[in-house]
Structure 1
């Protein structure tokens, strides 16, 4: 996904890269930067978006694709169309605008059987939130 860096926030812990505020075709949000070189405000960068936490809750959505957060540290809301679901894997491919984001949905275990009612189906337009997203820059 091509993003424009709007702001680079200091990493006060030194444990990871800085948080960034960015604009993408589907909206404005923040993410943890996981590249070796720290970007500058105004840079346009191609990134892969990672949702590091399993998603437990989602809803069907009847609204445009979105990648939104009100402020750094706030939950990030993602909305898109389920492109594919693998029956043997909890990972679901979600298309947001023209890009694919892989999301792991938490399966539900019941005594004597494993079920997965929490996963959406291919073609569903869904919305979910996550505590944060990570971005990994790449060159095309």
Structure 2
């Protein structure tokens, strides 16, 4: 995913990277920076987005692909279309032109009543996660 760095917030926890605000074609959000060097505000960077926690709640929705959060440490809302569903509950979600892999909680662990264990390929889903990590790479 190509992003533009908008802001940096220093790491408050020892051993964790800083938080960065970024803008992509799918919206604006905050994420934990996992690169070895700090990015510059205004830089365009290619990153892989990682959702570190299992997703226990998701919903079938309509609307455009979205990745959004308001402030550092606020939950990140992600909306996209299911591209693939693996047997081990890993789901590839297309958010705009990019793919994000997420792991769904087993249905027995789900806190959403009546939720099926996995969404279907082609379904547009939305979920919220406490945070996302971004890993820079060179193309």
TM above 0.5: yes
Partner of 2:125: 126
Once the two structures are superposed, the pairs formed by residues 54-93 of structure 1 within 5 Å of their partners are 54-86=54-86, 88-93=87-92
Q: TM-score, normalised by structure 1?
A: 0.92
Contact persistence 1:107–1:117 (CA under 8 A): no
CA-atom RMSD in angstroms: 1.4
Larger Rg: 1
Q: Is structure 2 residue 95 aligned with structure 1 residue 96? A: yes
Structure 2: unaligned runs, 5 residues or longer:
110-114
Q: Which runs of 4+ in 1 moved over 2 A?
A: none
Q: Deviations over 1:83-124 (max 9, x none)?
A: 0112x21100000000000000001349xxxxx923211000
| C-alpha displacement of 1:71 | 1.2
Instruction: Give me the whole-angstrom Cα distance separating, in 2, the residues matched to 1:94 and 1:57.
Output: 15
Alignment TM-score, normalising by the size of structure 2: 0.92
Residue-pair matches, total: 134
SS in 2 for 1:81: strand
